[in-house]
Structure 1
Amino acid sequence: MKSFWLSIGLFIALIMQGKAQVLIGQITDEEGRAIEGATIYIRETMQGTVADENGNFRIHLAAGDYSLEISALGYEKQLIEWEITEKEASLSVRLKPIRYMLKEVRVIGKGEDPAYYIMRNAIARAPYHRRKVKEYFSEVYSRGNFRIDNLPRILKWGKTGREVFDTIKGKTLLMESVMDIKFQSPNRYKRNILAFNTTIPEEIGPEKALNVVTSSIYDPDILGILSPLSPGAFSSYKFRLEDSYREGERMINKIEVQSKINNNRLWNGWIYIADEEWCVVGFDFSYNVKGFSAQMQVGFNEIAAAIFLPTSYNIAIGMDMMGLEGEAKYFSSVKYKELQIDTIQLTLATEDTSIRKRAVSKKEQKIRHKIQELSEKEDLTNRQAYELARLSQRLQEWSSSDSVSPYQIPLRRLKDSVTVDTMVTKRDSLYWQKIRTVPLLEEEIKSYEGRDSLRKFMEKVFGPPDTVPNKADMIFSKIMLGDTFALDNRKRVGLEVGGLWEIFPQYNVVDGLWIGQNVQLHIYMNKGKKISFGPSLYYGTARKTLLWKMNANWLYAPMSRGQWELDFGEMSEDYGHAGEGALFENSISSFFFQKLRKNFIRFYERRFIHLKHSIDIANGLTFAVEGQYERRDLLRNHISRKNIEPNDPVLEGGVDMPENTSLIAGIRLTYTPCYFFTVKNHQKQYERSAWPTFSIGYVRGLPTDATYTSRFERLDIGIKQNIKLGLFDSFSYSVNAGQFLSRKEIYFPDYMHFTTIGWVYSTDRFSEDFFLGEYYAWHTKDKWLRGAINYNSAFLLLKRLPFMQNMTFDEGIHGRYLWTPEIGNYMECGYSIGLQEYSRLGVFVGFNRHGYQEIKVRMALPLQVKEFKKIFQEYTK
């Protein structure tokens, strides 16, 4: 029976194979030179392919009549009508160079290059073109090969290193794949890997298949490199109209793109833009940094009326750095199977008919009016182009959103997914022969022929590859950082256990080494509701006492972020409440570097119960109310060594206190206008806003029966914002002011503290805290005004030097200000370099009311557990 069905299957396969024809061809110029990267597009099948370095291509088609578009950047497009009847048909095409006809030049301002007029219109309409296609379904064939010509000496050291190098030197290694891609506007891609093949002697999974097609020229960046059509492009690029030419009824503008600085996140090359429609019809970009070069050519075709989409990709890479020499090539051909145009998208010159079908807010009407006004302008300024792009993006988000709130970002816009077909690595040679759109080169054929022997050699040298990639990393990650373990089959109950990182959270000279663990039980209920509770239990080795805390959290209104929090326990507490990063730094300085910084944090014993409720009473408007009872007892050092100071805050600029109690209640309102959010698992999560965050808070110390009890009132207001200024720059600021309205009885933990940290800094506080002064120096029980500004840029001072422009660090300038009646005016300013939020190193100068105070170096490291986890998880992906 099994042989019967096998025979039937073979018979059907032979019939189908007989109906499939092969079109092979070569694209050359008038001199007969091959045109690598030329695009061959078949209108009837919406299929594109790219010619290889010999100008050759290969396409499987059913018998019939076809219209072929043959094009290459810099050459006239040819339209060829071709009937395929034979099993194998051949085609030879010679392309003529384009005859440019630079059109009448528009001179804007004082001799401005007309390219800027074109680019302003293209940038303004980029959001429109990005969303013009609502969905498509495509099949993509990709192939990449690379060759290693040299390795660094350290990798060639010893007999094994030389053997490996001699084996792979000059050999072509190959990877090819076939995938289906389902695109949903504006930027969601579902990839299904159908076939995967490689000669690389490592266990590389199909999910790592080559892929560059899930990016768009209309996105702010392409593969992490700033797009010339992104908002803010004029600050990073120069443009020049090189030529114009006609292609049918369209006028195409060839514009040279030049980066203003030499950086691997900026392109150079040419972009081709259709006049009047202001859409991209092709581009040829490259970048060169020290020891590394890359060139990307992308061919576009008109898939539907006025809809240009990429049909071919051709990428070449060269490497010559630190002893590593080699080159790589990559290409993809795209076949569009389904295409859905968003017919209700706003056209920038006419009214969107979809607005008649739904209620339109006054704000939306105002935006539409402004878009209409800007669209009718003959010559846009740079600022107007950016504004038109921003307004179009905003309006199209509203138009395409089916949510109740105009600020909800549909989750589908944020998610990509990859699936792998069960037959992905089992495709035979007949399948690959049929699917390839470019014939294998001679060296690629040899690569497949020598694949088995190369893998056997590598296994002999290094052992068999790990069949479960990253398994060791996953186990190590769970041991170090902990994990949540499901306690039932439905995963409705989970037990979260901290890893080794949380077994020894801190060391100080009062308690000694903390040894213990933090455990949380999570109960997941319907519609995103959640209950969490559990203990944190630690033993202080020097004080020989149990330090503990119980906490519980009830998320009862996920869409309004409504939750109750309850904490109670007995712990050692920092007088200044600086947080986890400061405690970690104190642990390091107390244990390892006593002569440098000693024990700068002072502790008191805190027996407490704390209750808090918070909820969004409107989008972006959060109301919180909390109360806390605390008994504060004095502590002494239980470790005595040379250079260790007594546990007295006065020695670090603080204030003594007697043992006391406090009963404190407070309310706070926080508001961020136009706060966009996503909904995941029925839970609201804020994402972004172009507006600052405003806050106002009131705290009151209520009297108790104790002899010493806190009695005060405090009011504060604040504003803060982090502004992204394009791909390379950001600016943040924060201002906070307040006053103690009354202070009948107040103790040091109740003061308003302005944190300053020592030589090591937690990166999450680098944008607000002070850099200089004693640890408890900046505090008040009266009134205050505090401000902070930060400007970070990839090109500020040092990075302006040509030989440093390709280095990965960024730069920042920082300012701090504090005024209190006790301190007077105090200012800090500084300069730092760093790796984004991961680490920073800077020099800072402080000035008090008398003038210059001090200058010191400060360093920022990811000291909090959440920061460490984030970096570790990214590293082990």
Structure 2
Amino acid sequence: MRCMFKYLRIELTHLLLLIVCMMPFIGKSENIISLFPKDRVVPDSILGKVYSSASIYSNEVKGFKANLYLKGVVTVHHRNRIIKYIPSMFKLEDSISNYMHESISELQYTAPSIYDRKIKAMVSTFKSQKGRVFDIMDYMKFNIYSSSLMGDKVMSPLNSQSKIHYKYILDSWTVIDNKNCYKIRVQPKYKSTKLVEGYIWLYADDWSVYSFDFSGEYDLVDFRIKAFMGNTPQTKYLPCYMDIDIHFRFLKNHLQMQYSGWMDYTEVKFAEQGEVMRLKKDRNKYNLSSSYTLTCDTSRLVTDIDSFSRMRPFPLTDEEELMYKDKIERRTESRQKQIQDSIDNLNKPKSQVFLGQVGDALINSYDIDLPKVGSINCSPIINPLLLSYSHRNGISYRQSYKYNNLFYDGRLLRIAPQIGFNFTKKELYAKVDAEYVYNPRKHGAVELHVGNGNRIYSSVVLDQLKAMPDSTFSFDGLDLDYFKDIYVNLSHNIEIVNGLSLWTGLSMHWRYTKSTPELDARVRSRYNSFAPRLRVEWTPGMYYYMNGNRKVNVGSYYPTFIADYERGIRVFKSSGEYERLELSAEQVIKVRNIHHIAYHIGCGFFLNQEDMYFVDYVNFSNRNLPQGWNDDIGGTFQMLDSRWYNASSHYVRGNMTYESPFILLYPVSKLLSFIQKERIYAGILFMPHLNPYFEVGYGIGTHIFDAGIFVGNERGKFTSIGCKFTFELFNK
């Protein structure tokens, strides 16, 4: 107690001395700077006021509309040939190192975290307007008072839950606009992509922010953001000017992007007293169309430099004007070169021209946008980022193509062929997914899925499995007759009411294997199946918005419940009658903004098992073409032998994933500078001969790859340990 009074006496003495020294200047508008002793820690009494005020101010603004002017200069410090193969990269020209980019947009915000941007005009000196390696809007989503920044990418130092990760140093005391203002230095206690460092200026009267200057790292980007808040009662909680300095580094490529943003607020709505800023769970609040009314009308998008000059709120410098003049000259020279190249190609042998086109396809990605046909996207054929590895499936490679055609009334045609090869199993997989959305207001769509599935054995094997006791069970002692599978699924989907969808369709399979006398003595070598299918999916409290004639679901606070029923019937020479029923529930819960818990629970049954059938579940299956790491968020078993998926007429399972930036590696600060996320996995499965199977795992996520290690436990005994690895660079 005596130590506490001594500490308070010292603090009051320092404060009185500071006030006496500043008395002659209080009330003047010029900036008077008084430095604190070096490394002076911010007292808990001040931090408490800062946290308390930030929690209030984070909910003050209910929504706003603003005009946003962005101006940026891109400087190429160093590059090599690899930069051409980075997806969404700007189209850089060989001899040009400086580029200009400008845009004018309408920006709308609705609490708690809905941003909508309509680009009205955009010009640049790039060869194409499509390129980008990041979304600049991620760096503009800066509610400095919220618990997380930049779209939940970074933990805010003004949040009380983050104080264990930051150090706060009193740098100086300043007078700004006749108000006393603290300058506080924010330092992370360890280097992490989830933390920032820099300075923040806080008014001493109400602890609101005057300005901030933060720097950090995320993915392949080093960024620094400087911002000034508004100086009117309407804009004091909102940034009015921002400077963003971004450095992109990848395999000895170095690009610097310096952007400035001015926001002119046309409308600001404040929360009423006592109103909690969250999405209220009542039926009238599910439609968020008023928050998503801004859409980009590309037919009216201004891209002409002369027209943009009449809209520009601030004049350009002489150097910036020169960049646009140089672009016009390069465009003229490029057109002349294209004419000459076309003449030269006429004189080349056709085989040489063809080989050059094949070489381009191997290493280049393509985005083709045809106004009357649609858009086509394909990744390079030679692309190491399409490789993945798991202990269960080995090394896999996939190649995907996408075709989209969005019609004027919201109707959509989507076709996505995909091909993959498993090097461990030496199997080639291919599939085509096609969807035609004819009623976008109700998600009315017709879908077609065609491909070859996993190798599978028939229900005859189940009789062998049932006869084996758990103590002596082993797949190695069984004579498994594997069948190859070709499937066609045709379905129709419609949303009956908000959040409730009805899926009806047909599931057809052609399963075959090599005919031998030994096989023919037990089963046939070819089986066809024809099964009507019904699927009901319900998400209570689904939030959505209307984009023209198209309904876009946003999410819900409740889980999604799914019931999937299929019945095999004897038509068109099909064999086998069966009934399959699967039930499941899944949800991703956001905890403290950047922490997530995902769970998936489900069960499945095969009924009416008198005839031979194939145990082929929908929600419990081995995936032969993995899409990446996030396709497993619903819950899979990484170490479970693939033969178990078809080994029982029923199953019950549950999976959970906890994701956070700080779990086990909290004391290892050097690793946290590279790792963005840590994950804990747990899963349990009940089925005959596995009562239960339990699996735990730990994974990390970085901007280049995701990796995890998993341990399997069968009937109380640890049976397997393995890992999974996927490239995630430019896929997120």
Q: Deviations over 1:275-308 (max 9, x none)?
A: 786642222334599x998754433341456646
From 634, 645, 648, the equivalent of 2:512 is 634
Q: How far has the Cα of 1:826 moved from its partner?
A: 0.9
- Change beyond 3 A, Cα 1:647–1:531: farther
Aligned to 1:735: 601
Q: How far has the Cα of 1:234 moved from its partner?
A: 2.4
Tell me which amino acid in the other structure corresponds to 2:505: E
Do 1:183 and 1:189's aligned partners in 2 also have CA atoms closer than 8 Å? yes
Aligned to 1:621: 500
Do 1:113 and 1:241's aligned partners in 2 also have CA atoms closer than 8 Å? no
Q: Secondary structure at the match of 2:61?
A: helix
Q: How far has the Cα of 1:122 moved from its partner?
A: 1.5
Do 2:698 and 2:710's aligned partners in 1 also have CA atoms closer than 8 Å? yes
Tell me which amino acid in the other structure corresponds to 2:61: H
Q: How far has the Cα of 1:735 moved from its partner?
A: 0.9
Q: How far has the Cα of 1:268 moved from its partner?
A: 2.2
How do 1:533-682 residues align onto structure 2 when only pairs under 5 Å count?
A: 554-565=436-447, 573-576=453-456, 602-604=482-484, 606=486, 610-630=489-509, 632-636=510-514, 659-680=526-547, 682=549
Tell me which amino acid in the other structure corresponds to 1:852: F
Separation of aligned partners in 1, 2:544 and 2:726: 30
Do 2:66 and 2:108's aligned partners in 1 also have CA atoms closer than 8 Å? yes
Separation of aligned partners in 1, 2:136 and 2:650: 58
From 152, 156, 160, the equivalent of 1:228 is 156
Tell me which amino acid in the other structure corresponds to 1:115: L
Tell me which amino acid in the other structure corresponds to 1:823: L
Do 1:759 and 1:859's aligned partners in 2 also have CA atoms closer than 8 Å? no
Is 1:766 aligned to 2:632, yes or no? yes
Separation of aligned partners in 2, 1:622 and 1:308: 41
Q: Secondary structure at the match of 1:261?
A: coil
How do 1:500-515 residues align onto structure 2 when only pairs under 5 Å count?
A: none
Q: Secondary structure at the match of 2:162?
A: helix
From 388, 407, 422, the equivalent of 2:305 is 422
Name the count of aligned residue pairs. Answer: 609
Aligned to 2:287: 406
Aligned to 1:348: 273
Q: Secondary structure at the match of 2:644?
A: coil
Do 2:33 and 2:173's aligned partners in 1 also have CA atoms closer than 8 Å? no
Q: How far has the Cα of 1:605 moved from its partner?
A: 5.5
- Change beyond 3 A, Cα 1:313–1:765: closer
Separation of aligned partners in 2, 1:241 and 1:719: 48
Q: Secondary structure at the match of 1:748?
A: coil
Q: Deviations over 1:308-352 (max 9, x none)?
A: 6545556789999999999x8968585x7x642335x42335xxx
Tell me which amino acid in the other structure corresponds to 2:583: I
Q: How far has the Cα of 1:661 moved from its partner?
A: 4.2
- Change beyond 3 A, Cα 1:436–1:773: closer
Aligned to 2:65: 135
How do 1:331-370 residues align onto structure 2 when only pairs under 5 Å count?
A: 332=260, 334=262, 339-342=265-268, 345-349=270-274, 368=275
Do 1:77 and 1:247's aligned partners in 2 also have CA atoms closer than 8 Å? no
Q: Secondary structure at the match of 2:279?
A: helix
From 32, 52, 68, the equivalent of 1:96 is 32
Aligned to 1:528: 410
Separation of aligned partners in 2, 1:647 and 1:274: 86
How do 1:186-265 residues align onto structure 2 when only pairs under 5 Å count?
A: 186=110, 187-189=115-117, 214-218=140-144, 220-222=148-150, 226=154, 228=156, 234=162, 237-238=165-166, 240=168, 242=170, 252=181, 255-265=184-194
Q: Deviations over 1:168-214 (max 9, x none)?
A: 9xxxx9877776554433544556779989xxxx9798998997984
How do 1:131-170 residues align onto structure 2 when only pairs under 5 Å count?
A: 131=63, 134-137=64-67
Do 1:482 and 1:498's aligned partners in 2 also have CA atoms closer than 8 Å? yes
Q: Deviations over 1:441-471 (max 9, x none)?
A: xxx99x999x99xx99xx9xxx99xx9xxxx
Tell me which amino acid in the other structure corresponds to 2:51: M
Tell me which amino acid in the other structure corresponds to 2:537: T
Separation of aligned partners in 2, 1:144 and 1:743: 66
- Change beyond 3 A, Cα 1:254–1:849: same
Is 1:846 aligned to 2:712, yes or no? yes
Aligned to 1:267: 196
How many percent of aligned residue pairs carry the same amino acid?
Answer: 17
Do 2:566 and 2:581's aligned partners in 1 also have CA atoms closer than 8 Å? yes
Separation of aligned partners in 2, 1:177 and 1:822: 63
Worse-matched range after superposition: 404-413 or 794-803: 404-413
Aligned to 1:683: 550
Separation of aligned partners in 2, 1:659 and 1:293: 59
How do 1:453-468 residues align onto structure 2 when only pairs under 5 Å count?
A: none
Separation of aligned partners in 1, 2:718 and 2:230: 65
From 653, 663, 675, the equivalent of 1:786 is 653
Separation of aligned partners in 1, 2:408 and 2:257: 51
Aligned to 2:688: 821
Q: Deviations over 1:96-146 (max 9, x none)?
A: 22599xxxxx9xxxx954423432332343243373xx3344667777989
Q: How far has the Cα of 1:848 moved from its partner?
A: 0.9
Separation of aligned partners in 2, 1:210 and 1:613: 35
Aligned to 1:302: 231
Separation of aligned partners in 1, 2:107 and 2:58: 18
**Which structure has the bigger radius of gyration?**
1
TM-score (norm 2): 0.63
Separation of aligned partners in 1, 2:54 and 2:183: 13
- Change beyond 3 A, Cα 1:264–1:626: closer
Q: Secondary structure at the match of 1:423?
A: helix
Q: Deviations over 1:60-85 (max 9, x none)?
A: xxxxxxxxxxxxxxx98965xxxxxx
Separation of aligned partners in 2, 1:859 and 1:620: 35
Do 1:226 and 1:727's aligned partners in 2 also have CA atoms closer than 8 Å? no
Q: How far has the Cα of 1:95 moved from its partner?
A: 4.0
Aligned to 1:52: none
Separation of aligned partners in 1, 2:452 and 2:246: 57
Tell me which amino acid in the other structure corresponds to 2:409: K
Greater relative CO (CA pairs within 8 A, separation 6+): 2
- Change beyond 3 A, Cα 1:236–1:766: farther
Do 1:825 and 1:848's aligned partners in 2 also have CA atoms closer than 8 Å? yes
Aligned to 1:185: 109
- Change beyond 3 A, Cα 1:563–1:319: closer
Tell me which amino acid in the other structure corresponds to 2:306: M
- Change beyond 3 A, Cα 1:415–1:729: farther
TM-score (norm 1): 0.54
- Change beyond 3 A, Cα 1:736–1:232: farther
Do 1:763 and 1:839's aligned partners in 2 also have CA atoms closer than 8 Å? no
Do 1:189 and 1:416's aligned partners in 2 also have CA atoms closer than 8 Å? no
Separation of aligned partners in 2, 1:412 and 1:719: 32
Q: How far has the Cα of 1:736 moved from its partner?
A: 0.7
Q: In angstroms, what is the RMSD of aligned CA positions?
A: 6.3
Q: How far has the Cα of 1:481 moved from its partner?
A: 6.9
Do 1:732 and 1:789's aligned partners in 2 also have CA atoms closer than 8 Å? yes
Q: How far has the Cα of 1:561 moved from its partner?
A: 0.9
Q: How far has the Cα of 1:498 moved from its partner?
A: 7.7
Aligned to 1:717: 583
Do 1:554 and 1:563's aligned partners in 2 also have CA atoms closer than 8 Å? yes
Q: Structure 2 regions of 5+ residues with no counterpart?
A: 1-24, 37-41, 83-94, 342-355, 387-398, 421-428, 458-479
Do 2:183 and 2:200's aligned partners in 1 also have CA atoms closer than 8 Å? yes
Q: How far has the Cα of 1:791 moved from its partner?
A: 2.6
Separation of aligned partners in 2, 1:695 and 1:683: 24
Q: Structure 1 regions of 5+ residues with no counterpart?
A: 1-74, 80-93, 101-105, 156-167, 350-367, 372-391, 506-516, 539-546, 578-599, 639-645, 649-654, 863-867
Do 1:407 and 1:674's aligned partners in 2 also have CA atoms closer than 8 Å? no
Is 1:116 aligned to 2:1, yes or no? no
